[in-house]
Amino acid sequence: MSDLAARQAALVEALVAGGPDPAGFDPARLDATRKALLRKRAGETAKHWPLLAASHGNRWRATFAAHAAGHEGHGALRDGWDLARALRAAGTLPTGAARELADREAGWHYGGAGAPRRRLRARVRTLAASARRRLLD
């Protein structure tokens, strides 16, 4: 790994995965960047999980940050899924968000790592619907 590649990796680790601050950087600016990255992730996650975000109102960013700080993002779909499950386990998942999570889990299998996969019965329903459309068209 080149020197710059190693230093880029160290900076990313410090910003998103709880790694130590790299030498020479302004700690306040590193902290501001960390918070900005979390705000951006919170906004993207809200688009994929609108009820989860809306049910937290103006506490959404703080709730998201409390869960996600120091953990690398895995995309908005998985980040929201992980948060919703953590809140459900803690007994603090609001009702609307619980329904949103239940709907997702009815159609998709997500094991907590890797991309969520469409459940077989949901796939069959989709195929049946498209076959019906072809027959009727």
Min CB(68)–other proteins separation in Å: 10
Told to check if 13 binds other proteins by CB under 8 A, we report yes
The residue among 77 and 93 lying less far from other proteins, judged by its C-beta, is: 77
Distance CA 109, CA 45 (A): 19
Task: For residues 87 and 80, give the distance between their C-alpha atoms in angstroms, rounded to a whole number.
Answer: 11
- The whole-angstrom separation of Cα 109 and Cα 51 is 20
Judged by CB under 8 A, which stretch of 1-9, 86-94, 100-108, 119-127 contacts other proteins?
1-9
Question: Interface residues for other proteins in 91-130 (CB under 8 A)?
Answer: none
Nearer to other proteins by C-beta: 91 or 112? 112
Residue from 2, 91, 113, 136 in contact with other proteins (CB under 8 A): 2
Asked if 11 interacts with other proteins (CB under 8 A), we say yes
Residues 30-89 that bind other proteins (CB under 8 A): 30, 32-33, 35-37, 39-41, 43, 47, 72-73
The residue ranges that bind other proteins (CB under 8 A) are 1-13, 15-17, 23-26, 29-30, 32-33, 35-37, 39-41, 43, 47, 72-73
